[in-house]
Amino acid sequence: MQSYLLKSLRWAKVGDIMLNKTTLGVAISAALSFSVSAADNSIEKITVTANKFEQSINDVLASVSVIERAEIEASNVRDLPTLLSTRVGFQVNPNGGFGQNTGVSLRGTGSGDTLILIDGVRTGSATLGQKALNNVPLNSIERIEIIKGSRAAVYGSDALAGVINIITRESDNLSLSATFGSDSYQNYQVAGSVKSGDITTAFNAGFEKTDNFDVLQGVAPDEDGYENKNLGFKVNYSDAHYGDFKLLGQYSEGFADYDSRFSPADSTIERDDFKNYQLSAGWSKNYTNQTHSIDLALATDDSDNTYVDFSVGPTTSTFITKRTQVDYNGQYLLSDELNISGGVNWYNDDVSHSSQLFVEDSRDVLAVFVGAYYDADKVLANLTVRQDDDEQFGDETTYTAAAGYHLSEDATFRISQSTGFKAPTFNDLYFPLYGNPDLQPEKSVNRELGLSVDFDIAQVDVAIFRNDIEDKIDYDANFALANIDEARYEGVEFSLSQQFFGFDSNLNFAYLSAEDEETGAELRNVAKRTFNWELAKQFGAFDARLDMQYRSDREGAVTRLGSYTLWNLAGNYQVNEHIEISLRVENLFDKEYNAVDSNADFTTGQVYYYNTPERRFFAGASYQF
């Protein structure tokens, strides 16, 4: 699908963001005057993503959210982008149904501005510059940790808007499940673990297939099917003297049929075949006042894209990223209040196995970072600095500076400033006819104020942020790529979890302004207002949840897209200790709406949109041994 996306880039101007001060002030005042607000997750949970060592969320001086396996199963959501769309700050723009290219925007930025890790390993395509989250199977996920803001000081390139770390399955019990639904949907999963002495082996496998529906208007009507086969394992060995050892692997392959406005209108051969895997091994050891860990990883992102080229006819383009990664991380406890954390990170991206020949087809990145973390009674502070040496564009220095104050044992105020960068992709630098080898990294400065409160009856989180990105890569007047754009993204996020008339209520609201700083134009596919609300209740052996998603109007590629509200319903019935029945209805009221536009016929003015799902039903059963 990369060739299609590259063609789209030639027609689409990539923008970024800004916010009217008066409007922002009104939004912030409204949020703070709301009686109570909430975090997406309990403040008591632990995250390992934020600074590469375990901390209570209440001590992480950033906006952090965690999605647990139990939440995934209770919602009966069928794909990762849909799951993320319920979290504050995310906007998801799908080009059709399951498996289709899907824009996952965090705080208004592009899909490639959020770094995606799987078990701490950098993933995605080095040619396209992003990870296809639509191909990550939910059955392989144990937990998702999300940290917002520019995080290059810890993780390096691509973390302009934040980091998503996907932790793979660690099942305790053997389970089998099967789900069937609309558009000939079928999904089969197995997960479990085996323990022998000090060795624990967890495994997961899944098969997902659907005929889907016709995804794009204005071209040949056909079903654009999707298939994903996946397998994963995780082996852990603990030794009191030598430390903890782990071996992890995850593999998935499949295909997605799609439609392209760049192919003949009657073509139906467009298809993306993907094959992704990663294998990693690690060691860690805790001493009295220090911890050390070493991780080695190999990962591949393989995409074979079949389409019609007007000059040569049916064509298949292959884009393969092979990545090798080595990490050392250490933590030293200097006192009860102060610890030092740091490490060395090296990785190599190799795209030489792609069908497209690049002038340079490999690059090494070597980085060193160190951070100081202070936690004394009420005062929190940290400062982290990182130096990246990229053989293609040179050195980049980034930092994170943050401070916090425990207003009480239940409330924490935080303030931070951090920088980030995104290195140009191989396509940006070397793709024939439009690559520019003189491109420099895009850079960001992120500022944030936040307040987290954990009441007895509710959890609240409010964040006010601004993210300035400069040297954004876009097309200049001569239709050549250059570092020419600047954007500002700023807004307020508000979350509330509480008991509501006997129901568990989780709601979040975001107001976001995303504008090109030079022209003042709104950036495309970014809604100013988003609202999510879920009500859940347990009725004996049956639990039910109803969720709502609202997106305000926004600029599209060729027209302004209208607002829409969707309702979804999910339920689970525990038949006995082994068997559970599940149900999900998406787009409950069969809403007709347009999420993403594609192009327009300039002779007639007809606008063509990517089709969105009608009401869909999914029913399944699982067995726990």
How far is Cα 167 from Cα 280, in angstroms, rounded to an integer?
A: 13
pLDDT of residue 309: 86
Asked whether the CA dihedral 234, 142, 616, 598 is positive or negative, the reply is negative
Write out pLDDT tens, residues 92-150.
999 999 999 999 999 999 999 999 999 999 999 999 999 999 999 999 999 999 999 99
The confidence score (pLDDT) of residue 311 equals 81
- When pLDDT is averaged across residues 525-542 and rounded to a whole number, the result is 96
CB 296 within 8 A of CB 280: yes
- From 286, 345, 383, 319, select the one nearest 120 (Cα to Cα): 345
CA separation for the pair 152, 57 (Å, rounded): 19
Average pLDDT estimate for 526-539: 97
β partners of residue 47? 55
Strands 162-168 and 114-118: parallel
pLDDT at 234 over 90: yes
CA distance 473 to 489: 16
pLDDT tens-digit series, residues 184-204: 999 999 999 999 999 999 999
Q: How high does pLDDT run on average in the chain? A: 90
For the chain, give every domain's residue range: 2-180+363-612
| Percentage of the chain lying above the pLDDT 70 cut | 92
pLDDT score of 40 more than 70 = no
429's enclosing H/E stretch is helix 426-430
pTM confidence score: 0.91
The pLDDT tens digits for 354-372 are 999 999 999 999 999 999 9
Measured distance CA(598)–CA(11) in Å, rounded: 10
Evaluate if residue 35 carries a pLDDT over 70.
no
Percentage of residues in the chain with pLDDT exceeding 90?
A: 82
Q: Which CATH architecture best describes the domain 2-180+363-612? A: Beta Barrel (2.40)
pLDDT value for 26: 37
pLDDT of res. 2 = 60
CA dist 273 and 292 (Å) reads 39
